[in-house]
Structure 1
């Protein structure tokens, strides 16, 4: 059994679109159940599942029935097609798909429609009848379309798209890397490239054979809003959503400031990558230990009660909420145990799934619906996941 978040995302996306195409009633039921929320006009926000936080637009006919779901993939389309190269078809069906991939950087740049460069042009403003330069202010401009991407300072160094590929290639110290995906988002303001790390994490080899594939990705902005970033992640980037998820679920990341020499100092990046891969091997050993550690239902109850303690003086509403959560987790664990065995591994998978896709949120000023979507963006549950792992390690040892 393989844990492939990309396949799960695509499957859920297909199911989501198919469900709302069946009939308008099913769509309304998803709203009523808190899975999606209207955010104005014909736009909706996904609140649960692999595509939590995504927005999409619904087109209806004159009778009000749903005719089309337009997911917001976020890919650059300014040159007439989607700026995406990938080895595997994405959920939206866009881009250039090359099964098996290629090792040639120039081919990928062309297929991904990112074979353009960026220049810095001075910011000009009109004063009376005079055209003046804004001191130390520049506009980053695409050289193929002339589109302005952002405003930056004089010290800002443009990282050309090809240079980012070369950085990843040099980082892994071999030039036969197969590029998994590459493309541009938001009109070219953000560019990404992904390569697969050769060594996967395999949990219970020969048994569950639960494989976690990791990717090394670089995400570069041309608009001055963020540093370039390299990440190790289980996500293959193929749209705006998966770019966000890749960053959210990164095993490790390191930022690269847009300054001279920013992409030249590889030693620290290589050291960080080495530590990350060493951590991945350690994580694999710990997860395999969890597979071999039996866990009684009572032990699981003790675990979740420790993660979400409820004091004796808690209000009745809080106790009821806690009991409902306890019952839901109990049912999820029993279901996981039927597939994975009654083990510490099944317990961790249960809690992770609950936190990622089912846990409620405390209403905030922006409203409960938006708060639920924002939970994943802010990493609110990361600490609970770490606590779960540490507690299970104590049990396993």
Structure 2
């Protein structure tokens, strides 16, 4: 398989990762499940293994402490987990949005499967949107994702997408927790997650207030250089730190006018421009084995961590 991406679907313009089946708007959950490759179940089976002796096969043994998770449609194994592990089905990820799309004005925009089924997600646009100086529009989304390989709890996350460049950025909530995470040792209660996430105007307004503040914070060349140095230096390493010179040169170039939307009033020579140079680098430019490796990193892995660090550093500039 050329990609980790098993299948995905999207509506509206081609999604920023450029992959998937295009759907017309307002499709029912059932169509999304089929077109996004999420119309299968995660099944469980006991762990069995074959012992060997010289010249012959041995006995079939069991390992009762663990179980195998596998796909119902292909029987392909996904992972080995403990008996306490509680599965969240691909269809449950989509069903999370049913009342939000039918009652609350949300609209599913993309959903899909990564790593052959080990990760599944869906992203829906909320009815929240704001525009910064220079007609720079940012829309609000809710991302729900889960994994079955031990690398991702079921996670509900407010996410913003800047229209001009499709840069994605997790939204920090008022309690400084950017997401609601449900470990697989407990059951997934979608209604409880929605209540805890607080799908409300308050979180969005707070986030956009911060974005407005950094879009009005002008920065000098030396401040920009120091910002990128802080973002791309690993403080856990010795005092000299280790930086990625290629990455720093790239984000500097994006900030100085080569990035999408970098010439808008909100970004040109501002802390918001610094932040968007990093998010564009992570979402579109960073080296990756494939587009879907980049997507996984940008939403769930090192790329997401780097974007959060960039946001934290930008906010310090207006503290």
- The two structures share one fold, judged by TM-score above 0.5: yes
SS at 2:127's partner residue? coil
Specify whether residues 129 and 98 from structure 1 end up closer, same or farther in structure 2 by C-alpha distance, changes over 3 A only: same
Please tell me whether the aligned partners of residues 33 and 94 of structure 2 are also in contact (alpha carbons under 8 angstroms): no
Residues in 1 aligned to 2:281 and 2:33: alpha-carbon distance in whole angstroms: 39
CA displacement, residues 122-163 of structure 1 (integer Å, 9 cap, x when unaligned)? 011224643222122111111111111110111111211222
C-alpha deviation, 1:305, in angstroms: 7.4
Residues in 2 aligned to 1:105 and 1:337: alpha-carbon distance in whole angstroms: 34
Residues in 2 aligned to 1:344 and 1:133: alpha-carbon distance in whole angstroms: 60
Residues in 1 aligned to 2:261 and 2:123: alpha-carbon distance in whole angstroms: 34
Please tell me whether the aligned partners of residues 337 and 346 of structure 1 are also in contact (alpha carbons under 8 angstroms): no
Equivalent residue in structure 2 for 1:266, among 186, 191, 203: 191
Cα RMSD after superposing both structures: 4.2
Please tell me whether the aligned partners of residues 106 and 127 of structure 2 are also in contact (alpha carbons under 8 angstroms): no
Equivalent residue, structure 2, for 1:352: 275
Higher helix proportion (structure 1 or 2):
1
Residues in 1 aligned to 2:108 and 2:213: alpha-carbon distance in whole angstroms: 33
Could you list the runs of 5+ residues in structure 1 that have no partner in the other structure? 1-69, 77-82, 237-241, 310-320, 360-372
Residues in 2 aligned to 1:357 and 1:93: alpha-carbon distance in whole angstroms: 15
C-alpha deviation, 1:209, in angstroms: 1.8
Specify whether residues 177 and 279 from structure 1 end up closer, same or farther in structure 2 by C-alpha distance, changes over 3 A only: closer
Could you list the runs of 5+ residues in structure 2 that have no partner in the other structure? 52-56, 172-177, 231-244, 283-296
Residues in 1 aligned to 2:217 and 2:86: alpha-carbon distance in whole angstroms: 54
Specify whether residues 93 and 156 from structure 1 end up closer, same or farther in structure 2 by C-alpha distance, changes over 3 A only: same
Equivalent residue, structure 1, for 2:24: 99
1:118 and 2:26 aligned = no
Equivalent residue in structure 2 for 1:142, among 57, 71, 83: 71
Instruction: Report how many aligned residue pairs link the two structures.
Output: 268
C-alpha deviation, 1:98, in angstroms: 1.1
Specify whether residues 133 and 389 from structure 1 end up closer, same or farther in structure 2 by C-alpha distance, changes over 3 A only: same
SS at 2:198's partner residue? helix
Residues in 2 aligned to 1:135 and 1:195: alpha-carbon distance in whole angstroms: 39
Equivalent residue in structure 1 for 2:138, among 206, 209, 212: 212
Equivalent residue, structure 2, for 1:160: 89
Higher strand proportion (structure 1 or 2):
2
SS at 1:379's partner residue? helix
C-alpha deviation, 1:105, in angstroms: 1.3
Specify whether residues 278 and 144 from structure 1 end up closer, same or farther in structure 2 by C-alpha distance, changes over 3 A only: same
SS at 2:128's partner residue? coil
1:199 and 2:119 aligned = no
What is the TM-score normalised by the length of structure 2? 0.67
Residues in 2 aligned to 1:358 and 1:149: alpha-carbon distance in whole angstroms: 31
What is the TM-score normalised by the length of structure 1? 0.55
Residues in 1 aligned to 2:62 and 2:179: alpha-carbon distance in whole angstroms: 37
Please tell me whether the aligned partners of residues 169 and 177 of structure 1 are also in contact (alpha carbons under 8 angstroms): no
Higher Rg = 1
Q: Give the 5 Å matches for 1:270-285.
A: 270-274=195-199, 277-285=201-209
C-alpha deviation, 1:168, in angstroms: 3.8
Specify whether residues 376 and 170 from structure 1 end up closer, same or farther in structure 2 by C-alpha distance, changes over 3 A only: same
Residues in 1 aligned to 2:84 and 2:8: alpha-carbon distance in whole angstroms: 30
